[in-house]
Structure 1
Amino acid sequence: MFFKKNPLLSVITPSFNQASFIEETIESVLRQDYERVEHIVVDGGSTDGTVEILKKYRLKFPNFHFISEKDKGQSNALNKGLNMAKGDIIGWLNSDDTYLPGAISKAVESFKKNPLCGMVYGKADFTDENNQPIRPYPVYPFTLEKLFNECIICQPAAFIKKEVFREFGGADESLYFCMDYDLWMKIAKRYPIGYIDENLATSRLHSQAKTVREMNKIGFLEIFKVSNRNFGTVSNHWVWAFAVNNFPKGRFWLLENLKKHSIFGPSPKILNAQTVKSNWGVQDIAIQLDPTIHTPVHTIILQKNNPNERYMVLIDDKHVRGLKYNKDTIEIPLGFNQSDFQLKLIPHTGGGYRVGSSSSESITMDLLLLSKEEYEFFRHLENGPRKIKGWLNEKRTPVPKF
């Protein structure tokens, strides 16, 4: 793509109930020293006074446009704006973030010097509710390996060719949290990425920001999803950050979610588990493994309801020895590789805990089958969160597909 002398740049701002911040966002666009800019705000039907602010700017500035209607989230709003945009370059500026003076002219100049780039980006700062700097966003000069390891691109400091944005279908509307990281990965695998060694934007951290509110609950798991999708694996940095930030939820919860995203490679999975009978507290469970996964089961982890529960465990009617009891789990060494087996739990004192109560009820929330590497990580978590990074770097070597 060859740029005109002064290409039009379209800034798209998804918005919903951000009356406290959006005026500052709009003003940061208007204060830019580059003349050929249109600003499109796609509002999701705000009820907090945002629309009144938008109407005021539309009356004053011919290149300011907005719509306000119910949407399907931030990605959907961004894609609406993309369809409205007339510019050759897209800036994506959320309604609580701001551009620094000269950001747009620097981005345009970078594209002119590097016309093959699919996108360019610069440095940025995290700011507080009053837009006062807190610390720099961890932005670094671009390499694909760095992007795989962590998100080194700050979204408000990034500018994308519109034709490239459209080539990938805009933002993935199935994603709630890391649609930007997903987009950077897609672009980076196909186009050169330009780096501007100057501060271009601010990213505001406040109590309602998704970065603050949803990272642990949704963010890390979406990052696992998009990293697996684009690179075939997940970096140790993201596994470490997920484990450290969610450590209070317990080892069972951590391993359950790591297994869902194959963090330690193909992981043994339960295809079907049925309670055969449940008399006098005895749990008798027929377990069928997924035959497409050939990784042997090293250890079964059972989640307990109370720390005092003790069981005799039989696998295919053979007594299992060497059980390890923890506060909330029991570790059962398996010691063989087969596609199905029968697990029987006989409480030492009356009343076992609920693993499954009917022949059709899934029990995967209470039982985990771990590979050797998964079990080693499970055990290492006993040492606390501070030592996780060292173990990962020593024992786990992800090989991304670039």
Structure 2
Amino acid sequence: MVSVITPSYNQGIYIQETIESVLSQDYPNIEYIVVDGGSTDDTLSILEKYSRTDERIRFISEKDRGQSHAINKGIAMAKGEIIGWLNSDDTYLPGAIRVAVEALEQQPDWAMVYGKAYKIDGNSKKLSDYYVAPANFKQLFDGCMICQPATFIRKNVLLDVEGVDETLHFCMDYDLWIRITQKHPIGFVPYPLANARTHDSCKTTTLWGTVGIPEILRTCVKHYGAISKTWLLTYQSHRGKGITGLLHSLRSQSTFDCLPTVTNMNRYDDFWVPPRFTFTVVSGPGFPVNSLLIKGRIPPESVPHLPLHYKFRCAVQVDGQPAGSHIIGSSFLLNIPVQSMSERFEVEILSSFFLTSSDKRMISFVADEVIPLSVEESNVIKTIMGSSVLLKFV
């Protein structure tokens, strides 16, 4: 038996087409479960009509905690050995379930199988092929090449990985593929199995930049400890922020554990720092600081005669011990390794460049960001700064 699960909420405009694409399949042993979140449009009347005339379909309608929760409820209700997950605005292509079952029968070691797919618009017009390619755990680091409605998964595998992560509201499918491929092989069949619909109210359109990309980055860090060039460039193109913006985004989502902080900094209110720049770093027990990230610059209007590519030297000390000397420019992003295992230490940066400001202060450069990095954060930054493709990202 194949159990198809559809999470639903106020998609009456599309759900009839979704239902028809399931019930018209040429595979005989199907149960269809719609988990509705309490729709207020005509979804329920459509579901009631079909459930009265076709015993293969059943539904529940009650308030839930979102799409991921609805999918897990459907998995718990399912009697089938194979699970299809079809959103209420997507559709199966003819023969999809039969092709998937035959593939899984022929390849008993596959935990799931997926096929090709098309992107369609709100009027069911084909827009383009969906990007799909063979994938494994390593390849999924670089991006998601699996189309969710074109995927069929063995139920015992879903139970083994404990279903869908209900803390995710956008990339729960990508997270699921990664967790499955960590433990099981998966398979690809080169046949079109489904249509993924794009329209003005779908999450890909409305939440991609604000929810989708941050969730994807957090998921990558959780599973791989780093972020690929593909996802970094996607983040940059949508958010327009550099490395420090990425860090703040990840921190805001609690991606990392027990983050270190800076206290007692002698930076001025306008972010200029003196030639002897000092600050204190505090971290939690068992979470040592791995490096210090400093984003700085010398505004050209402050020193008009300064060459555009001017270089100067700064020396770093941690708790009075030398921690390296660095050549930096008039605009820089400096990643300083830190050897101290102490939960609290003092940092001193001595700069060879300084000038006198109009208010008689001795100043060296503008320190826009001073961020002590945990081991996890430092690994992410090393991945970024080691990529020549991402020079613009800084």
With normalisation by structure 2, the TM-score equals: 0.74
Shift of 1:31: 1.3
Deviation per CA, 1:320-342, whole angstroms, max 9, x where unpaired?
x999777xxxx686979573247
Shift of 1:171: 0.5
Which residue does 1:399 correspond to in 2?
none
Paired AA for residue 13 in structure 1: T
Which residue does 1:116 correspond to in 2?
109
The answer to whether residue 13 in structure 2 is matched with residue 23 in structure 1 is: no
- Answer yes or no: is the 8 Å Cα contact 1:270–1:287 preserved in 2: no
Deviation per CA, 1:329-377, whole angstroms, max 9, x where unpaired?
xx6869795732479xx99568xxxxxxxxxxxxxx9654577995996
Pair 1:59–1:270, CA change in 2 (3 A): same
Shift of 1:301: 2.9
The answer to whether residue 199 in structure 2 is matched with residue 206 in structure 1 is: yes
The answer to whether residue 244 in structure 2 is matched with residue 218 in structure 1 is: no
Which residue does 1:340 correspond to in 2?
346
User: Relative to structure 2, which stretch is displaced further, 206-215 or 366-375?
Assistant: 366-375
Which residue does 2:312 correspond to in 1?
none
Runs of 4+ in 1 over 4 A off after TM superposition: 249-252, 258-263, 266-269, 274-286, 306-310, 321-326, 331-338, 346-350, 369-380, 389-392
Name the CA distance, whole Å, in 1 between partners of 2:6 and 2:356. 59
Pair 1:279–1:214, CA change in 2 (3 A): closer
Which residue does 1:155 correspond to in 2?
148
Shift of 1:139: 0.6
Paired AA for residue 295 in structure 2: I
Name the CA distance, whole Å, in 1 between partners of 2:158 and 2:20. 25
TM-align CA RMSD: 4.4
Which residue does 1:301 correspond to in 2?
295
Paired AA for residue 188 in structure 2: Y
Which residue does 1:228 correspond to in 2?
221
- Answer yes or no: is the 8 Å Cα contact 1:43–1:77 preserved in 2: yes
Paired AA for residue 25 in structure 1: T
Q: How many residues align?
A: 354
Pair 1:220–1:309, CA change in 2 (3 A): farther
Name the CA distance, whole Å, in 2 between partners of 1:295 and 1:10. 48
Which residue does 1:253 correspond to in 2?
245
User: Gapped runs of 5+ residues in structure 2?
Assistant: 304-315, 318-325, 350-354, 360-367
The answer to whether residue 123 in structure 2 is matched with residue 130 in structure 1 is: yes
- Answer yes or no: is the 8 Å Cα contact 2:290–2:337 preserved in 1: no
Name the CA distance, whole Å, in 2 between partners of 1:67 and 1:325. 62
Name the CA distance, whole Å, in 1 between partners of 2:356 and 2:171. 45
Which residue does 1:79 correspond to in 2?
72
Name the CA distance, whole Å, in 2 between partners of 1:349 and 1:19. 66
- Answer yes or no: is the 8 Å Cα contact 1:28–1:101 preserved in 2: yes
Deviation per CA, 1:66-89, whole angstroms, max 9, x where unpaired?
111110011100011111111111
| SS of residue in 2 equivalent to 1:20 | helix
Which residue of the other structure, out of 39, 47, 50, is the alignment partner of 1:54? 47
Name the CA distance, whole Å, in 1 between partners of 2:384 and 2:210. 21
Which residue does 1:42 correspond to in 2?
35
Paired AA for residue 62 in structure 1: E
Superposed counterparts of 1:268-307, under 5 Å:
270-274=260-264, 286-290=279-283, 292-297=287-292, 299-301=293-295
Which residue does 2:322 correspond to in 1?
none
Pair 1:138–1:271, CA change in 2 (3 A): same
Q: Which has the higher strand share?
A: 2
Paired AA for residue 248 in structure 2: E
Name the CA distance, whole Å, in 1 between partners of 2:32 and 2:121. 24
Which residue does 2:100 correspond to in 1?
107
Shift of 1:239: 1.6
| SS of residue in 2 equivalent to 1:53 | helix
Name the CA distance, whole Å, in 1 between partners of 2:249 and 2:154. 36
Deviation per CA, 1:158-191, whole angstroms, max 9, x where unpaired?
0001111111111011111111111111111222
Paired AA for residue 295 in structure 1: N
Pair 1:293–1:51, CA change in 2 (3 A): same
Which residue does 2:311 correspond to in 1?
none
- Answer yes or no: is the 8 Å Cα contact 1:120–1:159 preserved in 2: yes
- Answer yes or no: is the 8 Å Cα contact 1:119–1:160 preserved in 2: yes
- Answer yes or no: is the 8 Å Cα contact 2:218–2:250 preserved in 1: no
User: Gapped runs of 5+ residues in structure 1?
Assistant: 1-7, 351-364, 381-386, 393-402
Shift of 1:99: 0.2
The answer to whether residue 158 in structure 2 is matched with residue 165 in structure 1 is: yes
Name the CA distance, whole Å, in 2 between partners of 1:70 and 1:214. 21
User: Relative to structure 2, which stretch is displaced further, 235-244 or 101-110?
Assistant: 235-244
Name the CA distance, whole Å, in 2 between partners of 1:257 and 1:90. 34
Shift of 1:235: 2.1
Which residue does 2:364 correspond to in 1?
none
With normalisation by structure 1, the TM-score equals: 0.73
Which residue does 1:362 correspond to in 2?
none
Name the CA distance, whole Å, in 1 between partners of 2:217 and 2:95. 35
**% identical equivalent positions:** 38
Which residue of the other structure, out of 167, 170, 181, is the alignment partner of 1:177? 170
Pair 1:367–1:18, CA change in 2 (3 A): farther
- Answer yes or no: is the 8 Å Cα contact 1:259–1:267 preserved in 2: no
Shift of 1:17: 1.1
Paired AA for residue 263 in structure 2: A
Name the CA distance, whole Å, in 1 between partners of 2:18 and 2:327. 61
Shift of 1:213: 1.8
| SS of residue in 1 equivalent to 2:291 | coil
